[in-house]
Amino acid sequence: MSRPAVDAAFSALAAHAAELRKTRAIDLFAADPQRFEKFHVALDDLVFDFSKHRATTDTIALLVDLARAAELEKWRDALFAGARVNNTEGRPALHMALRNLTDAPFVVDGKDVMPEVRATREKVAKFARAVRAGAIHGATGEHFTDIVNIGIGGSDLGPAMAARALSPYANAEIAPHFVSNVDGADLSDTLRKLDPARTLFVVSSKTFTTQETMANAASARRFVADALGEAAVGDHFAAVSTRLDKVAEFGIRPDRVFGFWDWVGGRYSMWSAIGLSLVVAIGPDHFEEFLRGGQDVDEHFRSAPLDRNIPALMGLLGAFRRNVWGESVCAVIPYDQRLARFPAYLQQLDMESNGKSVTRAGAPVARATGPFVFGEPGTNGQHAFFQLLHQGTDVAPIDFLVAAEPTAADDAHHALLFANCIAQSEALMRGRTLAQAKAALAAQGMDANAIAALAPHKVFSGDRPSSTFLYRRLDPRTLGRLVALYEHKVFVQSVLWDINPFDQWGVELGKELCGRLVPLACDSRAPLDGLDGSTAGLLAARRRLQG
Ligand code: F6P
C-alpha cells in the first residue's frame, strides 16, 4: 500500500535535516537556556532526556506530523483493543493485559481475558511463595536452593536479564540460573555446581517444540533421574507453555504447569508465567511492582500527547536517524552493571520485531527498517568500542541508561559512574574542532610541527546523538517501565514502517535446514550429496577432525 502522507512527511523531514546540518547541537543549548526543560519528559521519577539530539521544536513537530501520517494513534488504539495486529499469524498482541493491575478488561474475540490472566498470575504467585517457603520441595524433602530456567529467546532473555537486574531484591536462599544454548556446555557448566536434590527446573517454551529447549530439558530430566530415580522427576520439574498437550507428553505434573496464550508474543512474554523463575527469585510482591512499571508506561503511551510521549519520541527520533540520517546501527549503554543483559534482551525485542523487508501487505518496504542493536555496560564499553563511537566514520545513536542513586547503599562508586555517563554523552555531542585540538596542544607547550602532526587525530566531529534515561534507582518498577518503553518504541517504529513487529518468519529457514543437517552431523557415513560445497566441505572437515 503506498502511503503518500508518510512519504511527504519523510520528505519534509529530509528537507528540514538539510537545514539542521548547519546547526550544531551544542549551539542549540546556547541559543535556548530552556532547552533541557523543553527536550526532556519525566514519567514520575524517570527522566527521558533527548536534548542532545540535533533537533529543534520544528523537528519534533515534523516528527509528530509523521506519526499522524502513519496513523500511529489509530494503530496504538487497535493494539490495546486486541485487534489482530499480528496479521500474518492472525493474532492480537496483548502483552499489556499481563501487566494490567486495574479492573479494566482486555478483550480478545469479544472475551475479557483478565480473569484468566489474574488466575494464572495468582497460581504463579502461590507456587513461588511455596517454593520460597520450602512448602514445595524436592523428592528427598530438601528445600530448593536453585531454580534453573530452561528456555531460549523470549523464554530466556527477559527473565535472565531481569533476574540479574533485580538481584538485590532476590531471596538469597534460592539462586536462579538460566540455560538456553543447545551447546551442552551451557547445561553442564550450570549443573556442575548444583545438587539435584535441591534443584527445581522450569521448562519455559511457548511452543514446547523448540529444539534447544527440548534437548536441554531432556538432559536435565536425566540429571534428576540418574541421581534421584525416575520417580523423583515430577518433584523437580515445572513448565510454562501455551501447549499444555505437549507439556503433558513430557510428563510434567498438571499442578506444576503454567499456561499463557497465543496472543502473547515470545519476546513480549516476560510479564506472563514465563517470568516464573524470576518470581521465585524476587518474590511475587516485587514481581507485581515490575508489572506496575509496565502498566505505568501503558497508561502514558495511551494518554500522553505525541510530543510528550516517551515511546513515541523514542520511536520517532530513532526513525529520523535511521531513515533521514541513514544510520543503520544503534547502541544501548546502561551505566548500570546489573543491566548487563539489557542490550541482549533488546536485541531480540527490536531486531526480531523490526528486522523485516516487507510491509504488512507483503510488498517491499519503502525505506530502511530496524537497525542493528548492540551494547555493553558503561564504563566498560568506554575502554572497548567507544573509540569508534567518538571518531569512527559511522554514527550510531546511543541510549544511555543511568540511575540517580545506587541500589546498594554502600556503593561509593556511583558519582564516578554517573559522571562518566554524562561525560560521554557530552563529548559525543560537543566534539572537538581542529582549532581546539591545536590550542590544547599548544597550551601543553608542544612545538608547531608536532601540533600539526598530532592535532588531526584529536579531532572529534561531535553531533553524535544520544538520549539519556535517568531513573531514581534500578528497582522492579523502574525495570518494568524501561522494558515497556522499549516494547512500545518498537511498536511505534513498526507503524512508521508499515511492518508487522509481532511475527518472526526470518528464523524459520535456518531451523528447517538444521533439521536436514542434524542426521548428517550425527552419522559420519551419511552421504553429503546435494549440499552446497561449503556446507558439505564443513561437514566433511568436521568428520576428519573427529577422526
Ligand atoms: O527462534 C525464535 C523464537 O521463535 C523466538 O521468537 C522465541 O522467543 C524463541 O524462539 C523461543 O520459542 P519458544 O518459547 O516457543 O521455545
- Going across the sheet that includes 372-374, the strands are 40-43, 46-49, 466-471, 398-403, 329-335, 372-374
Would you write out the chain's pLDDT as a tens digit for each of its 547 residues? 689 999 999 999 999 999 999 999 999 999 999 999 999 999 999 999 999 999 999 999 999 999 999 999 999 999 999 999 999 999 999 999 999 999 999 999 999 999 999 999 999 999 999 999 999 999 999 999 999 999 999 999 999 999 999 999 998 899 999 999 999 999 999 999 999 999 999 999 999 999 999 999 999 999 999 999 999 999 999 999 999 889 988 889 999 999 999 999 999 999 999 999 999 999 999 999 999 999 999 999 999 999 999 999 999 999 999 999 999 999 999 999 999 999 999 999 999 999 999 999 999 999 999 999 999 999 999 999 999 999 999 999 999 999 999 987 667 899 999 999 999 999 999 999 999 999 999 999 999 999 999 999 999 999 999 999 999 999 999 999 999 999 999 999 999 999 999 999 999 999 999 999 999 999 999 999 999 999 999 999 999 999 8
Is any atom of ligand 1 closer than 6 Å to the C-beta of 100? no
Q: Which residue has the cell 528427598?
A: 140
* pLDDT confidence of residue 410: 67
Active-site annotation holder among 212, 289, 327, 352: 352
Q: Ligand 1 centroid vs 152 CA: distance in angstroms?
A: 6
Residue with cell 607547550: 445
Fold match, 4-69+304-430+464-503 / 97-288: yes
Helix (H, G, I), strand (E, B) or coil at 488: helix
Contact 72, 489 (CB under 8 A): no
Ligand 1, atom 5, lies closest to the CA of: 153
Annotated active-site residue 352? The verdict is yes
The verdict on whether 438 is a catalytic residue reads no
Which is nearest to 178 in space by CA: 255, 281, 284, 256?
281
Compute the Cα dihedral for 90, 211, 355, 264 and give only its sign.
Answer: positive
Write down the pLDDT at residue 319.
Answer: 98
Catalytic annotation, pick one of 38, 111, 193, 511: 511
Cα 166 to Cα 361: distance, rounded to the nearest angstrom: 41
Best CA proximity match to 428, nearest among 467, 374, 402, 401: 467
Going through 222-305 in order, the beta strands assigned E by DSSP cover 237-241, 257-259
119 close to ligand 1 (CB < 6 Angstrom): no
Q: How far apart are CA 149 and CA 384, in angstroms?
A: 31
What topology does CATH give the domain 4-69+304-430+464-503? Rossmann fold (3.40.50)
Cis before 379 (ω within 30): yes
The answer to whether the CB of 494 falls within 8 A of the CB of 500 is yes
Residue 487 appears among annotated catalytic residues: no
What is the C-alpha to C-alpha distance for residues 450 and 256, in angstroms, rounded to an integer?
72
* Distance separating alpha carbons of residues 456 and 437, to the nearest angstrom: 8
Dist CA 155 CA 123 (whole Å) = 19
CATH architecture of 97-288: 3-Layer(aba) Sandwich (3.40)
In the chain, what are the domain boundaries? 4-69+304-430+464-503, 97-288, 434-463, 506-546
- For the CA of 274, the closest atom of ligand 1 is 14
Cell of 358: 516487507
| 222 exposure class (CB count in 10 Å sphere: 0-12, 13-18, 19+) | exposed
- How many helices (H) and strands (E) would you count in the chain? 23, 13
CA distance 203 to 220: 10
Task: Report the predicted TM-score, pTM, of the whole model to 2 decimal places.
Answer: 0.97
- Ligand 1 pocket check for 295: Cβ under 6 Å: no
Q: What are phi and psi of 340, to 5 degrees?
A: -55, -30
CB of 269 sitting under 6 A from ligand 1: no
Give the E-state strand segments of 19-92 in sequence order: 40-43, 46-49
Residue ranges with strand state E in 273-382: 329-335, 372-374
